[in-house]
Amino acid sequence: MINIRFTLLTFALSAAAFGTAYPARADRGEARPYGLAKRQATTPYLRMPQLASGTIPLLLSQTGAFRDTRNLVPNNGLIPYDLVVPFWSDGAQKMRWVAIPKGKIRYSPTGDWAFPRGTVFVKTFELPTDAADLNIKRRLETRLLVCDSAGGVYGVVYKWRPDNSDADLLTSSATEAIPIKTAAGGRRDQTWYFPSRPDCLACHNAKTSGVLGVKARQMNRPFTYASGVTDNEIRAWNHVGLFEPAVDEAGLAALPTLAPADDAARSLKDRARSYLDANCAQCHRPGGTVAYFDARYDTPLTNQNIIGVPAVKGNLGYDNVDIVTPNDIWRSSLYDRIDVVNPATQMPPLARNLIDTNAVQVMADWINSLGGTPTATVFI
């Protein structure tokens, strides 16, 4: 017994000495560790102007987002995060951070969150350039979205230099052919579109509360923080006091949460509707830019005006086309628009030059599984 106790004590002291983190035991009533220990102070607006009419830094390194720009080491106070279902960006991988100054996020378990003025979102895009090794990537751009002093938002784009030493502010949109090595050893060029400032406002505007993606159904997911702790993102943000009202952590498991296209544990309906929420709902919603149907996941399917509702924006050359026609993808304009690259008909219409084949397959499977037509609701 003495030897056993001594061994256990030695193990515990060794673990403490080397800082090893062991998971808490729920069956012992121990609290799980939080991903964020405390809220760190951050400068409102970083070094960005309070309004888009101000002087915007010409270099990403001048914005205050990173203390090591080349290596994407964020400044103190920037919180990394990720989403359950990211917006499709032609296969690019994204790294996200947000700087939230003094103030709190107006939290809601459904719908949009409202962020304090001075909040800055930072998102960097990297594109895999070798089909045989997806770790080989080209860094393309970093976008900043600023919650301005007037209660709106503005966005800017910084295009990375080839050596990744810094990124330069773009004053207009730009297009570049990115060489991609194919699995067979050949080469193809992928067109990448760098959006302009007006492009940013096409989706980030007052009709969408300015901020897209960062909401409960996208943030109710695990994330591994720099501390090595994996925690639910809403739980971690709640712990450091970012929300008003505070979140009941016990209720997180019951929150409606989006479903990735490859999550076979979720239904086809959930996966299809999650894609629509992430990629279409910024415009397709009541009062939105294109309010012919409601793509938001929070809206019940029977109220979305999707199934059995005529396609307002044209039949795409087919007869009797609805937004979604049960069991008929070719008379479903929604399917046709995500399965094409054509600026005149594709959806989403902006900055997309590749088809999201995983989403297309899920949408096809869902449409073909539909056996009835839910009642449509007319928006007034």
Residue showing tokens 């949460």 = 257
pTM, full prediction? 0.88
Would you state the pLDDT for residue 2?
Answer: 38
333-336 long-range CB contacts below 8 Å, 24 or more apart?
Answer: 334/276, 334/306, 334/363, 335/360, 335/363, 335/364, 335/367
**DSSP H helical segments within 204-255, as ranges?**
216-219, 233-239
CA–CA distances in Å: residue 163 to residues 64, 70, 126, 271: 20, 9, 14, 39
Asked if residue 88 lies in contact with residue 279, where contact means CB atoms within 8 angstroms, the answer is: yes
Q: Tokens representing 321?
A: 């086309």
For residue range 184-210, list pLDDT tens digits in order.
889 999 999 999 999 888 888 888 878
Is there a contact between 100 and 115 (Cβ–Cβ < 8 Å)?
yes
Residue that wins the pLDDT comparison between 286 and 244: 244
Asked whether the CA dihedral 169, 96, 132, 90 is positive or negative, the reply is: negative
Residues 6+ apart with CB under 8 A from 116: 100, 101, 102, 103, 104, 105, 147
Burial degree of 297 (CB within 10 A; 0-12, 13-18, 19+):
buried
25 confidence band (pLDDT: 50, 70, 90): very low
- Mean of the pLDDT values across residues 16-29? 35
Q: How far apart are CA 200 and CA 202, in angstroms?
A: 5
**Residue 327: both structure tokens together:** 């069991």
Q: Give 11's pLDDT tier (boundaries 50, 70, 90).
A: very low
What is the C-alpha separation between 376 and 373, in angstroms, rounded? 8
Average pLDDT for 258-272:
97
Average pLDDT of the chain to the nearest whole number:
88
Residue 163, token pair as written in the block:
């050596």
pLDDT of residue 379: 43
